[in-house]
Amino acid sequence: MRKNTAFLIASLLGLSALAIVLGTGIAFADVPAVGAMAPDFTLPSESGANVSLRDFKGKWLVLYFYPKDFTSGCTIQAHGFQVDLAKYQAINAEIVGVSVDSSDSHKDFCAKEGLNFKLLSDTKREVVTKYGSARDATPTSMAARNTFIISPEGKIAKIFLAVQPTKHSAEVLQALNELQKAK
């Protein structure tokens, strides 16, 4: 009995360590499952207008969570999506970024970096939490770098956890192409 208990504890600690190693700082159980309906949201964009999940019905949505405007990794990731924006639009897909930064910060980030897709402000960390992408529960918590592809029907079709910003847009485009072929 003692060996089984020790094995169980070691296994649980290993899974916790894996979540930390991957940089998510979250339990995998908090992330909505592939095939589930995407959690609903309404958040203000960089322009101050509210944007909701329902606004994308009938389109593929790439909903990506990122830690902070104006940081190197987040800028690289955003530039990747911007460079490929026409490719996304050609396959009926929209890009939307979410962080806990303010709408004003997003507005400045979009202007400085030439971003032409929506960035949503989740200062209350509600949507970040719904998508299992909250790094921690402190007042200065940020979003984990996770991406969700949501189908035109509003279901989660693919999840990327703890992504690497440099090649992420290419990975997402490849996954979208595969998902669309499978439909």
Domain range list for the chain: 26-182
Confidence (pTM): 0.84
Single out the catalytic residue among 31, 43, 63, 74.
Answer: 74
Written as one letter, the residue type at 80 is: G
Q: At 45, list the tokens.
A: 């964009």
Structure-token pair, residue 52: 């909701």
The verdict on whether 74 is a catalytic residue reads: yes
pLDDT along the chain (183 residues), means of 10: 43 38 48 96 97 97 96 96 98 97 97 97 94 77 94 97 95 97 85
Of 3.90.226.10, 3.40.30.10, 3.40.50.720, 3.90.550.10, the CATH number of 26-182 is 3.40.30.10
- Find the helix packing angle between 72-83 and 103-113, rounded to 10°: 60
> Rounded distance, CA 137 to CA 54, Å?
28
